[in-house]
Amino acid sequence: MELEKHPYNKNFSWSVPNGPYSYLNSGQVESFSKDGFIILHKVFDADFMKKIISIIDPFEAQITENLKEFNEGKFFISRSEEITFTTHLVTQSKELKKFSKDKVFSSLCLDLIGKDVRLYWDQAVYKKGGTKDEFPWHQDNGYTFLEPQSYLTCWLALTDTDETNGCPWVVPKIHRQGTLKHKITDLGYEIPLDSSQAIPIHLSAGSMAVFSSLTPHRTGPNITSQVRKAYILQYAPDGAVRKINDSVTELASEENRQFLIVEKGKSIN
Ligand SMILES: O=C(O)CCC(=O)C(=O)O
């Protein structure tokens, strides 16, 4: 199924590094290349995730307070009592900065991106109990257009997640078309997509969905009474640029939050 493309998406072709791979096996890389995602179970232990949560919670609580200053607690895609996005945590916590450079992430970057890679973005996303709305189908590159279009999203579950509390869903194979046209809705950017092939991804705390910035994904409602907590870390090739308009680009290399984690094929700690 060919979908309407983003206007900046021209001459896109999908590829992954040839290997040898340091963390994944070639079957996992093949799956990632074919379907646009892989699931890594129990990468970190649940107690360590509790520690990460204890670091993130105070920053998220502050974001929730800040949102309450806005009309109905809503600003862009954040809603104080439903879904919050706490961004650039690596600039606020030395522990999270260190965590973003963990060997798991640098090895994944070497396997799936290449030899020189930067952290591009980090954010905690908390989906609160009783949230009825979904977070709509989108590609991460649909929000801010990066060139090269393909970078890596690590959606790390801090708490267990399934369809009852807003786990991620993906549609396989569409990443190969590059960035698609999104429309703006009240809940966020959205790709009008036939989601009959969509797959829900159940994750225990410490497990991770690893997908491309071009993989359409959404998260569902949270009908439980608990907060679903995720920490999302995204990595892009060194030299990636944010496209501002047809003729203006900006290098994604703000040193305080877009630092190198892999250089010349070696992890940086
Ligand atoms: O974690 C969520 O509920 C949605 C977050 C998401 O899809 C994203 O940040 O791209």
Block residue for tokens 């640098």: 106
Identify the pLDDT of residue 235.
Answer: 98
Q: Which residue lies with its CA nearest to atom 8 of ligand 1?
A: 140
- Give ligand 1 pocket residues (Cβ under 6 A): 125, 127, 135, 140, 166, 217, 219, 230, 232
Ligand 1: distance of its center to the CA of 139 in Å? 10
Task: Give the per-residue pLDDT at 226.
Answer: 98
Considering only CA atoms, which residue is closest to atom 5 of ligand 1?
Answer: 125
Question: What integer pLDDT is reported at residue 269 of this predicted model?
Answer: 81
Ligand 1 closest atom vs CA 83 = 3
**In ligand 1, which atom is closest to the CA atom of 219?**
3
CA 20 to ligand 1 center in whole angstroms: 31
Q: Tell which phi-psi region holds residue 206, choosing left (phi > 0), alpha (psi between -120 and 50) or beta.
A: left
Q: How many angstroms is it from 192 CA to the middle of ligand 1? A: 17
**Per DSSP, which regions of the chain are E strands?**
37-40, 74-75, 78-79, 83-87, 117-127, 135-138, 146-147, 152-157, 168-170, 183-185, 188-190, 199-200, 208-212, 217-219, 228-237, 241-243, 249-251, 260-263, 266-267
Ligand 1 centroid–CA 29 distance in Å is 23
Domains and CATH numbers, the chain: 26-267 (2.60.120.620)
Considering only CA atoms, which of 84, 228, 217, 207 is closest in space to residue 164? Answer: 228
Indicate which atom in ligand 1 lies nearest the CA of residue 125. Answer: 1
Q: Whose CA is nearest to atom 6 of ligand 1?
A: 218
CA 218 to ligand 1 centroid distance, Å: 7
Give the whole-angstrom CA distance, residue 149 versus residue 249: 13
d(CA 98, CA 269): 7
Give 242's strand partners: 146, 250
| CB 6, CB 181: distance < 8 Å | yes
| Predicted local confidence at residue 190, as pLDDT | 97
Atom of ligand 1 nearest to the CA of 155: 1
- What's residue 47's pLDDT? 97
Q: In this predicted structure, what is the pLDDT of residue 1?
A: 73
- pLDDT digits (tens), the chain, 269 positions: 789 999 999 999 999 999 899 999 999 999 999 999 999 999 999 999 999 999 999 999 999 999 999 999 999 999 999 999 999 999 999 999 999 999 999 999 999 999 999 999 999 999 999 999 999 999 999 999 999 999 999 999 999 999 999 999 999 999 999 999 999 999 999 999 999 999 999 999 999 999 999 999 999 999 999 999 999 999 999 999 999 998 999 999 999 999 999 999 999 98
Give distance in angstroms: CA of 219 to centre of ligand 1: 7
**Cβ 237 vs Cβ 71: under 8 Å:** no
CA distances from 112 to 24, 124, 151, 177 (A): 9, 23, 9, 18
Q: Which residue is closest in CA terms to ligand 1's atom 1? A: 125
Distance 49 CA to ligand 1 centre (A): 18
> Which neighbouring-strand residues pair with 147?
241
